[in-house]
Structure 1
Amino acid sequence: MNQISPVQTDTAAMAATPDLRRVNSNPDFWYPVAWSADLRKNKTLAVSFAGIPMVLVRPEEGTVFALFDRCPHRQVPLSKGTVNGQTVRCCYHGWAFGRSGRCIDVPYLGKGKMPNGVRTFPVREAGGLIFVFPGDAAKAESTPFPKLAQTDNPKYKTKHFSPRVNCHYTFMHENLMDMNHQFLHRRQMGQIKARFLGQDKGEDFIEARYSFMRCAGQQPLAERLIFGKHKDLNGKEQPVEEVVTIRTEYPYQTLRITDKDGDLIMDLWTAYVPVDKDERITQSFGLLSILRPQTPLLIDLIWPALGWFTNRIFLEDKEIVELEQAAWNEVGHDRNVEIFPVVKALRELLTRCGIPQDAAPQADAAPAAPAPCPTEPETTA
């Protein structure tokens, strides 16, 4: 009698579920789309979420606002236009749109009935980032806003990073959640082994905890400066000195490191934002907060070494997830055989919380419908 292997069982189970790489990001969350420093006053900035073109506008006074980045007249990007007061004026025929999306001026039309406006997106600015709510705007106020590492805590110094990776966002979640891939980083980290300490999960999150044991090789300088020197135990198993907790709380991901006393040493928050319509290009936005050492200015001295170290690690991860995407592209479906329970639970979470591709709204169908009346006066110069 033929025996069915666990691998065959897993393959059959995956065939009965949606292809994870065809599950789109759920737009009903707050997503970062730009750094605050990249949008100057009286300027526009073109950004994109899953193929939806958006223009961010920072007027001389008041908060940033976001519009669908197409003038309804000839579909020219509004991001090519100019900012006047609380409006952005199309570079082609000078149509002007206020922060409510309403068309408030057509220079050659007079003051009669104005044409339809453009779609608006709720905007929030925090932690040096500009967030938009790409989904149902009515849900924006009731949707929790993420905690952004330790950006408001003076005891920590925070590094910004925003790499673009040519892969589906789900590969990024899997990569960070599964610390069993440390073999990939052996040139940067030396020989270390991840020890799985347990997991927790709920309707919208999955969390895994690890500690690391050095098997051989020298401890990297940046790691030693942050966590302290790990003692050489002459081959004996190292005790748990730091606990690494990785959590995907849809759609965000965090990595927190605490010492043996439970004090927070490092706090990473990251979001993976789809850029293109097919969600094969991901713009990452990350905030990495490091606890300042007791020695004044030491963190500033080690900051370049930390940046070099984390960038080298990321480049190895970037190469591997892009190779995973290339393999998916070759066959057009997900052939991964996953055996690690945490990642299996993560895949279920991402499938459950995301939007199947065939049910997702089309990016080019973003409406240029009449906008509601503004809640504050809109003026144009």
Structure 2
Amino acid sequence: MTEAQPARDGARAAGSASGRHRPRDHRSGAVADLRRIGIDPDFWYPVAVSASVPRSKTFAAVFAGHRIVLYRGGSGEVYALEDRCAHRQVPLSMGAVEGEVLRCCYHAWAYRGSGRISQIPYLPKGVDRPPRGVRAYPVREAYGLVFVFPGDPEKADAAALPELPEFDSAGYKTMAFSRTVRCHYSFMHENLLDMNHQFLHRGVLGKVQPTLLGYETGPRFVEARYLFTPAGGKKDRGAGLLSAEGLSGGRKPDVITVRTEYPYQTLQAVPEGAELPAFSLWAAYVPEDAEQRTNHAYGLLMIAKPPIPGALRLAWPFIRRFTERVFAEDRMAVEAEQRAWDEQGEDRNQEVFPLILDVREVLRANGVPLHPAPALSR
């Protein structure tokens, strides 16, 4: 498969996926159930909002069943460690931060940001080799989020964080989202890429006619372009403010570009004929449990500031309400899909949209087998 296949118009896309090679179960020869594929840990994943990790405090995070404690030292640097004390396995997230050191709440064993034990207060004389400590994760802060690299630490330096130029642009203001969704992360990719589900949002968006203009796909990505044409009906005020007819005062339809660039997802809305997006959305879906049937969705919605000073500030509450309503409806749908999978014990999905068949192949091909992880108790 080439890095990027030619863009396909709507008619050609209708039958494009039938001849593709799909990952198969080596025992049965059947196409592997995507909902049993784990996410590749060799990427940077957000596990907390930066504001949730104040100085000298801890935060209990999780990635795919593995507990992680974040703590911010006195210098302001954030560290990420396996969330268990090497002594009695008590969560280190229950501990106390002293400078750049994290002490377990139980016996005050002290850990450096490297995971190594720096002190055991009552260590008997003659004990030369205390436990080595716990695993430390590479960690970075960017875009108001704390990212960890849960995979092979040797690959962390070569792995790039997502590039979000609108986040740092003075012409945009960012709205952040952080929500738990009870479904496999693949349902989230399918939901955003498949704009044919706008009937679900009819009470918020009114009547919208999405037209697939074409899409491209490669080994690690799928990108689709839609034309969103209003077709009447009552819409939420925030929907109008975000669309081409809103803050910019335009009257042309929006061109929506949605891209899964494994493992992240983006959406951009560009008024027809414009050069810059009216808004850009970046999202990451981070599995929480070992079976990866629950994910935490992190989103950054970067909205272009209009020429009128203060207009975006006044519109902010309406836009927030609109996005929350849309997200709630999407969450309802994808969680219902997950419940059906749980009840049936397999994927009985009867997909007919080639674009979604292609993104499933990308997620299968780049995912990893699910491995048992420590159970999460609540």
TM range (shorter): 0.7 to 0.9
1:33-91 CA-to-partner distances (Å, cap 9, x unmatched) read 00111111111111000010000010011511100000111110011111112211111
Query: Offset of 1:240 from its aligned partner?
Result: 6.3
Say if 1:149 and 1:269, in contact at 8 Å, map to a contact too: no
Query: Offset of 1:148 from its aligned partner?
Result: 3.4
Say if 1:149 and 1:288, in contact at 8 Å, map to a contact too: no
Partner of 2:118: 104
Partner of 1:161: 177
- Between stretches 313-322 and 214-223, larger displacement belongs to 214-223
Moved over 6 A (4+): none
Say if 1:277 and 1:363, in contact at 8 Å, map to a contact too: yes
Secondary structure, aligned partner of 1:27: coil
1:85 to 96, 99, 123: 99
Say if 1:20 and 1:170, in contact at 8 Å, map to a contact too: yes
The one-letter amino acid paired with 1:58 is R
CA distance in 2, matches of 1:315, 1:223: 15
Alignment TM-score, normalising by the size of structure 2:
0.87
Partner of 2:374: 364
Say if 1:149 and 1:267, in contact at 8 Å, map to a contact too: no
What is the alpha-carbon root mean square deviation over aligned residues? Answer: 2.0
Matched, 1:339 2:369: no
1:349-360 alignment to 2 at 5 Å? 349-357=362-370, 360=371
CA distance in 2, matches of 1:229, 1:63: 43
2:263 to 251, 254, 264: 251
Secondary structure, aligned partner of 1:180: helix
Unmatched segments (≥5 aa) in structure 2: 1-14
2:86 to 58, 61, 72: 72
Query: Offset of 1:216 from its aligned partner?
Result: 2.4
Partner of 2:201: 185
Say if 1:211 and 1:240, in contact at 8 Å, map to a contact too: no
1:267-346 alignment to 2 at 5 Å? 267-346=280-359
Query: Offset of 1:296 from its aligned partner?
Result: 0.3
Matched, 1:202 2:218: yes
Secondary structure, aligned partner of 1:264: coil
Say if 2:244 and 2:278, in contact at 8 Å, map to a contact too: no
1:113 to 120, 123, 129: 129
2:230 to 214, 234, 259: 214
Query: Offset of 1:110 from its aligned partner?
Result: 5.2
Secondary structure, aligned partner of 1:333: coil
1:20 to 31, 34, 39: 34
Secondary structure, aligned partner of 1:120: coil
1:150-191 CA-to-partner distances (Å, cap 9, x unmatched) read 221110010011111111111011000000000111111111
CA distance in 2, matches of 1:229, 1:39: 39
The one-letter amino acid paired with 1:306 is I
- Between stretches 92-101 and 221-230, larger displacement belongs to 221-230
The one-letter amino acid paired with 2:330 is D
1:260-316 CA-to-partner distances (Å, cap 9, x unmatched) read 223211100000001111111111000000000100000000000001111111111
Sequence identity (%): 49
CA distance in 1, matches of 2:116, 2:341: 43
**Compared CA separation, residues 240 and 195, structure 1 to 2 (3 A):** farther
CA distance in 2, matches of 1:277, 1:227: 39
Secondary structure, aligned partner of 2:154: helix
CA distance in 2, matches of 1:184, 1:215: 15
Secondary structure, aligned partner of 2:334: helix
**Compared CA separation, residues 56 and 129, structure 1 to 2 (3 A):** same
Say if 1:45 and 1:79, in contact at 8 Å, map to a contact too: yes
**Compared CA separation, residues 354 and 222, structure 1 to 2 (3 A):** same
Say if 1:104 and 1:114, in contact at 8 Å, map to a contact too: no
Secondary structure, aligned partner of 1:45: strand
Query: Offset of 1:241 from its aligned partner?
Result: 2.7
Unmatched segments (≥5 aa) in structure 1: 1-5, 231-238, 366-381
The one-letter amino acid paired with 2:253 is E
Matched, 1:32 2:38: no
Matched, 1:126 2:142: yes
CA distance in 1, matches of 2:293, 2:359: 19
